Amino acid sequence: MNKSIQLDSLQLGVCYYPEQWSDSLWEDDFKRMKQMNLSHIRIGEFAWSVFEPQEGVYDFDLFDRVLDLAQQYELKVIMGTPTATPPAWLTHKYPEVLNVSIEGVTYQHGMRRHYNYSSPKYRELCANITRQMANHFKNHPAIIGWQIDNELNCEISEFYAEADHIAFREWVQHRYHTLEALNKAWGTVFWSQTYTDWEQVYLPRPTVSHSPNPHHVLDEKRFISDNTIAFARIQAEILREVAPHHWITTNGLFGHLDTHALTEEMLDFFSYDSYPQFSTISGNNEHKPLLDRKWSQNLSVVRNISNNFCIMEQQAGPGGWVNRMNMPAPRPGQLRLWTYQSVLHGADLVMYFRWRTATFGTEIYWHGLNDYHNQPNRRIAEATQVGEEFVSIGEKIAGTTYQANVAILKDYDNDWDGEYDIWHGPLTAKSINAWFKQLQYQHIPTDIIYLRHQTLEELQRYQLIIYPHAAIMSEQTAMLLTQYVEAGGTLIFGARTGYKDLNGQCRMAPMPGPVASLCGISVADFTSITGTIEAPGLLWKHNNKQIEQAAELFNDILHIQHDDVEVLATYTSCYYENAPALTKRSQGQGQVLYYGAAFNEAVVDELLSLLDISSPLVDWLELPEQVEVGIRQNEHADYVFLLNYSDQPASIHAKVPRTDILTGTTIDGATTIPAYGVMILQS
């Protein structure tokens, strides 16, 4: 069971920056929040120079007044520790706290997140401000919880200050104990990279062709994650000690951080920052992109960390910094749609970012609910509607959880190794996109699961598991997956599975390594599909259907090792024309499929139909592609969310009558969901 936020009803809130506004505005702001049914605010996370204007001099007056006013308006407050924004006095006096690029350029004061996690001085100063704040605010009745830092590893997730090299060296010593073990794990005999003294070990530094040792690079990512967690732990321990009656969370999902471990080790639940428009401004060059709906992929990962979570920042308007991240304005209806997108995936507390658009600084185009002019606008009207709806449906939905029969598996080792390794990283990104998209279009709710220490029982919940290109795979994982298949599951692998061990070294064994015997195949030959080489087509055996240029990015040419392996498709061109590209083998109660390429949409569609995987709602609900469907459930009811991402109305057909709890109307037969509209059907 993962750690979830515990609320009796859905709650809405907003991020607020009192230090950026005249105090004459505060009361009107809080009054209007209250009128809009916003019950929570987050404050403080960037205000270090207000809290501690000079080293050792504290001034909590501004926030004391804000908290008293919040209490008066019955707003619950989440207090942020301000460690993402060290003040000028701090970095000026202690420049060793600054982060440094791999080239050795020091990131200076003037932005945020310009610090490193390793500097003992920075850790001391962060511990100090956290303790001062915790002691000062612990008894204020308005405060309910804390956010540690802000978006750990956002903006930048690599650190090369002197202190980082030292911390890495210690981490490596702790991990390997002996230089011999380190040299073995990193394969340093290759190109005479052998280390003979710990002092020779650094984080990767600039190298010829920017190509450091790949095993070293993988360990760098593991170190960054552990080091980020260690940095956060200092604050978590202080907050637990001083304010044990408050909960602790942090926000955002960023690179080189095992957010599952972070949450498990020190948080009460995880919080996420949801900006679906990021997906709209990227990924437009593919066929039928999911656009803002693709954000559900991230929300599915969040769900895997906390079934019920907080959205600490929900996009509230057009986004953009002065110089980057240029986003269009959300269309009328989209803010509400995106709020329910978060709720569908498990958010029980949704905080808009931010109350009012900043009139100065880097984020003058990152719009809050209110515009600069502070007059009523359509975004306020939309959030007001959501506030009313949360009051009416909130108790039903809070605490219910998302239901899925299909899971896509991921893991941090392959994520991190795949960032550097061009022979498997790009395959994973492409395949997960294709699977997620087609499952969305076919209305099949899907979980994204990070493989950590799951039990067989946890996997058995799924009828189908796709583990696309797990290059790194332990024997233990292979055993768990074998048991899953034997117990009745359907498991699908993609090209490049299982050829690396946990150090990222290639196994001297036929591919796909530890799952070769499960799949009953070996990879006889293989090629990257690159440059001018055209992806071969696939010929499906069950219907003689041919898909042109289907086998993309990489081709494993499969050799059948057992009679009971069925060839589902063969390659249609290249020197391996007619060779097996896709196989299936029944094992125990279940079946395992191996596909020798990266998955694309056409291949996924064919597989879903071949395996007869369909929407759990197929018997009673007809939906067009443009609608995302998902179910939040408890022991009493199912709540079927229908989210229309299109600017056109969606025609749906309910074969059994169901109540839309947002409007109280009964949906029976044909009806339409308006453009960007939402329905929640209870059954």
**Alpha-carbon distance 356 to 372, whole Å?**
7
Pick the catalytic residue: 45, 52, 220, 313? 313
Picking from 12, 671, 632, the residue whose alpha carbon sits closest to that of residue 336 is 12
Q: Considering the rule CB under 6 A, would residue 313 count as an interface residue with ligand GAL?
A: yes
Confirm whether residue 169 is marked as ligand binding.
no
Confirm whether residue 65 is marked as ligand binding.
no
Question: In the complex with ligand GAL, which residue's Cβ is closer, 151 or 382?
Answer: 151
Question: In the complex with ligand GAL, which residue's Cβ is closer, 258 or 273?
Answer: 273
Min. distance of Cβ 45 from ligand GAL in angstroms? Answer: 7
- Residues in 100-129 that interact with ligand GAL by CB under 6 A: none
Picking from 15, 451, 599, 35, the residue whose alpha carbon sits closest to that of residue 252 is 15
Confirm whether residue 355 is marked as ligand binding.
no
Annotation marks residue 313 as catalytic: yes
Picking from 457, 587, 579, 574, the residue whose alpha carbon sits closest to that of residue 516 is 587
Tell me which stretch binds ligand GAL (CB under 6 A): 149-157, 217-225, 580-588, 664-672: 149-157
Q: What's the 3-state SS for 255-272?
A: CCCCHHHHHHHHCCCCEE
Q: Which of 29, 220, 273, 628 binds ligand GAL (CB under 6 A)?
A: 273
Q: Considering the rule CB under 6 A, would residue 355 count as an interface residue with ligand GAL?
A: no
Min. distance of Cβ 335 from ligand GAL in angstroms? Answer: 15
**Alpha-carbon distance 433 to 180, whole Å?**
41
Tell me which stretch binds ligand GAL (CB under 6 A): 121-129, 146-154, 229-237, 528-536: 146-154
* Count of residues of this chain found to bind ligand GAL when the rule CB under 6 A is applied: 8
Min. distance of Cβ 353 from ligand GAL in angstroms? Answer: 6
Residues 6+ apart with CB under 8 A from 575: none
Min. distance of Cβ 373 from ligand GAL in angstroms? Answer: 20
Tell me which stretch binds ligand GAL (CB under 6 A): 34-42, 86-94, 148-156, 483-491: 148-156
**Alpha-carbon distance 194 to 174, whole Å?**
18
Amino acid at 159: F
Q: Which of 353, 435, 540, 639 binds ligand GAL (CB under 6 A)?
A: 353
Cα 432 from chain centre: 13
Question: In the complex with ligand GAL, which residue's Cβ is closer, 338 or 353?
Answer: 353
Q: Tokens 């559900």 identify what position?
A: 296
Radius of gyration for the alpha carbons in the chain, expressed in angstroms and rounded: 26
Q: Which of 30, 51, 137, 366 binds ligand GAL (CB under 6 A)?
A: 366
**Alpha-carbon distance 616 to 404, whole Å?**
9
Q: Which of 118, 119, 130, 150 binds ligand GAL (CB under 6 A)?
A: 150
- If DSSP codes are grouped into helix, strand and coil, which group holds residue 257? coil
Min. distance of Cβ 314 from ligand GAL in angstroms? Answer: 11
Token output for 394? 């909130």
236-260 exposure pattern, b = at least 16 Cβ within 10 A, e = fewer: bebbeebbeebbbbbbbbbebbbbb
Q: Considering the rule CB under 6 A, would residue 149 count as an interface residue with ligand GAL?
A: no
- If DSSP codes are grouped into helix, strand and coil, which group holds residue 292? helix
Cα 619 from chain centre: 32
Pick the catalytic residue: 52, 151, 606, 628? 151
Annotation marks residue 241 as catalytic: no
Question: In the complex with ligand GAL, which residue's Cβ is closer, 301 or 492?
Answer: 301
**Virtual CA dihedral for 158, 161, 167, 173, nearest 10 degrees?**
80
Residues contributing to the annotated binding site for substrate: 112, 150, 321
Task: Note the residues at the interface with ligand GAL (CB under 6 A).
Answer: 150-151, 154, 273, 313, 353, 363, 366
What amino acid positions are annotated as catalytic residues?
151, 313
Residues contributing to the annotated binding site: 112, 150, 321
